[in-house]
């Protein structure tokens, strides 16, 4: 059997593709699982993604306001964001109290934080759209 670059590379490329796709399968499986630890991992992943998008949108809005030299609006945005963070934390802690530290308490808090981040993202997008005009 004669080894050619093509015959050698095909299995290598296939193997690399399978290995590189494993994290995607692992993430999907974690979010489909019904164990508490996997539910928490899934909730953590979702929150991380939502907060990354939220932070990027916030930075874009800050840049928009900075470009317009809207210092009063920028100060109000920063105050509103700090208040929102405190409110979200307080609201989501209600789940920990409701579940009294049970196995779903942390998952519920994380899911609450994720949902709030997604809602806030929509608000910041609306601000950016309005103020970009």
Convert the pLDDT of each residue in 54-113 to its tens digit: 999 999 999 999 988 889 999 999 999 999 999 999 999 999 999 987 889 999 999 999
Tell me the pTM.
Answer: 0.75
Mean pLDDT for 9-36 is 56
Domain residue limits, the chain: 1-32, 35-131
Share of the chain above pLDDT 70, in %: 79
Q: What pLDDT score does 12 carry?
A: 41
Taking a C-beta distance cutoff of 8 angstroms, is the pair 75, 66 a contact? Answer: no
pLDDT classification of 15: cutoffs 50, 70, 90: very low
Running DSSP on this structure, what letter comes out for residue 62? H
More confident residue, 16 or 64: 64
Q: Would you list the DSSP string of 111-125?
A: HHHHHHHHHHHHHHH
Count the Cβ atoms, other than its own, within 10 Å of residue 94: 12
CATH topology of domain 35-131: Substrate Binding Domain Of Dnak; Chain:A; Domain 2 (1.20.1270)
């Amino acid at each position: 059997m004669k080894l050619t670059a093509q015959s050698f590379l095909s299995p290598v490329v296939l193997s690399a593709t399978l290995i590189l796709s494993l994290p995607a399968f692992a993430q999907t499986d974690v979010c489909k699982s019904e164990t508490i630890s996997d539910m928490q991992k899934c909730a953590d992943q979702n929150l991380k993604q939502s907060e990354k998008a939220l932070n990027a949108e916030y930075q874009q809005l800050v840049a928009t306001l900075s470009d317009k030299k809207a210092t009063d609006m920028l100060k109000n945005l920063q105050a509103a964001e700090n208040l929102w963070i405190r409110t979200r934390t307080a609201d989501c802690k209600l789940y920990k109290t409701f579940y009294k530290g049970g196995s779903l308490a942390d998952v519920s808090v994380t899911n609450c934080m994720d949902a709030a981040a997604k809602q806030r993202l929509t608000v910041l997008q609306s601000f950016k759209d309005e103020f970009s005009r």
